[in-house]
Structure 1
Amino acid sequence: MHDELPSGIQKVIDSLRLNTSSDFCGLACLSGTMLRWKYTSGASNERVKRMEMRPGQDLVGTALRTGRTVLTDVQSTGEHIPGRCPLMLAERLVCAIAVPVFQDGSVPGAVLLVGSRLPCTFSPEKIRQAEQVAIQLESKVYG
C-alpha cells in the first residue's frame, strides 16, 4: 500500500461522520506492523495523525485480527474498554464501531472507526452504514 492514499477517501470519511451523527471517524492503515491513522474527521487535535499503534487487544486490533465488525456502546458488555485503545483515549471516545477494510477481499489491512464522545447505543442502521463504507473504501484504498 502506498503512503499517499487517494484524496476521495477524506470526503467519504467526513460524510460517514456526518451521516451517522458521530463525533469522530477515522481510517487506520497497516504500515508494516504498525497502524497509522491516515484519514480522520472530527479529531480534537492533530496528534492522532502522528499516532502509531501496534494492533493489540483493543477494539481496533480485534477488528483487524478477526476480520469482523466490533463495537462498544452502552449495551455491549465486552472486553473492549475504551481506555485500552490509544485512539479512543486520545479522542475521549466512549463508544465506537470498528470495521475491518479488506485487501483483495480476504485480508484486513485497515480499520474504519466511528466513535462518540458521549455514551450511546449504535443502531443496526449506523452499523450497516459503517460496514457499507468499509466495503466502498476497499477499492479506494487498495484499487
Structure 2
Amino acid sequence: MHDEVSSTVQEIISGLCQITAGDFCGIAYVSGSMLRWKYTYGATNQRVQRMAMRPGQDLVGTALRTGRTVKLDEQSRGEYTPDRCPLMLAERLVCAIAVPLFKQGSLPDGVLLVGSRTPRTFSPEMVMQTEQTARQLEQYA
C-alpha cells in the first residue's frame, strides 16, 4: 500500500513538473519543529532527501505560516530571495511556487514546491495548476 501511494505521488509531481516546465518538484512535511522533504522529482543530488530545515522567513516557511500560496519569479522579486531557502540553494533554484498542504484542520502540515533553475515568470494558470495538484495530493498525506 505504501509503495502504491509513493509511486502515485511520484507520478503526480513528475506530471506537475512537466506541465509547469519546472526543473524540480518536491513535497515536504512538518515533523516536530522541522520540515523534511519526503517526495522529490528533478533533484540534482541526494542531500535534499536528508535535508531537515526549520521553517523560516523564506518562501517555504511563509507558505506554511500563512497557509497561502507564495511565489518567487521574475515579476515578484523583492521580499523573497533564493539564497534564504536551503532547498533552493541546494538545488540552484531561482524561481519557485510554494503551496501549503493541509492534511486536516486549518493549519498546513506540508508544502508543495515547484521550482526552476532559470529565471522565468509563472503564469496564473501555472499557479492555479500547482494549487489544484496540492489539493489532489492532500489525500495521500
Q: Give TM class, smaller chain.
A: over 0.9
Q: Structure 1 residues 54, 5: CA separation in 2 closer, same or farther (over 3 Å shift)?
A: farther
Instruction: Measure, in 2, the Cα distance between the counterparts of 1:115 and 1:21.
Output: 9
Instruction: Measure, in 1, the Cα distance between the counterparts of 2:111 and 2:52.
Output: 13
Aligned-pair distance for 1:53? 0.3
Find the residue that maps to 1:115 and give its secondary structure: strand
User: Which range is displaced more, 5-14 or 33-42?
Assistant: 5-14
Q: Structure 1 residues 105, 135: CA separation in 2 closer, same or farther (over 3 Å shift)?
A: farther
Corresponding position: 1:24 with 2:21: no
Question: Could you tell me which amino acid in structure 1 is paired with residue 80 of structure 2?
Answer: H
Residue 84 of structure 2 corresponds to which residue in structure 1? 84
Find the residue that maps to 2:111 and give its secondary structure: strand
Length-normalised TM-score, structure 2: 0.94
Find the residue that maps to 2:5 and give its secondary structure: coil
Instruction: Measure, in 2, the Cα distance between the counterparts of 1:30 and 1:95.
Output: 22
Aligned-pair distance for 1:105? 4.6
Instruction: Measure, in 2, the Cα distance between the counterparts of 1:36 and 1:81.
Output: 20
Residue 10 of structure 2 corresponds to which residue in structure 1? 10
Equivalent residues, number: 139
1:86-132 CA distances to partner (integer Å, 9 max, x unpaired)? Answer: 00000000000000001215210000000000000000010001000
Residue 113 of structure 1 corresponds to which residue in structure 2? 113
Corresponding position: 1:46 with 2:51: no
Alignment RMSD: 1.6
Question: Could you tell me which amino acid in structure 2 is paired with residue 89 of structure 1?
Answer: L
Q: Structure 1 residues 97, 5: CA separation in 2 closer, same or farther (over 3 Å shift)?
A: farther
Length-normalised TM-score, structure 1: 0.93
Residue 122 of structure 1 corresponds to which residue in structure 2? 122
Find the residue that maps to 2:102 and give its secondary structure: strand
Identity of aligned residues (%): 65
Query: Gaps spanning 5+ residues in structure 1: where?
Result: none
Question: Could you tell me which amino acid in structure 2 is paired with residue 95 of structure 1?
Answer: C
Instruction: Measure, in 2, the Cα distance between the counterparts of 1:114 and 1:33.
Output: 23
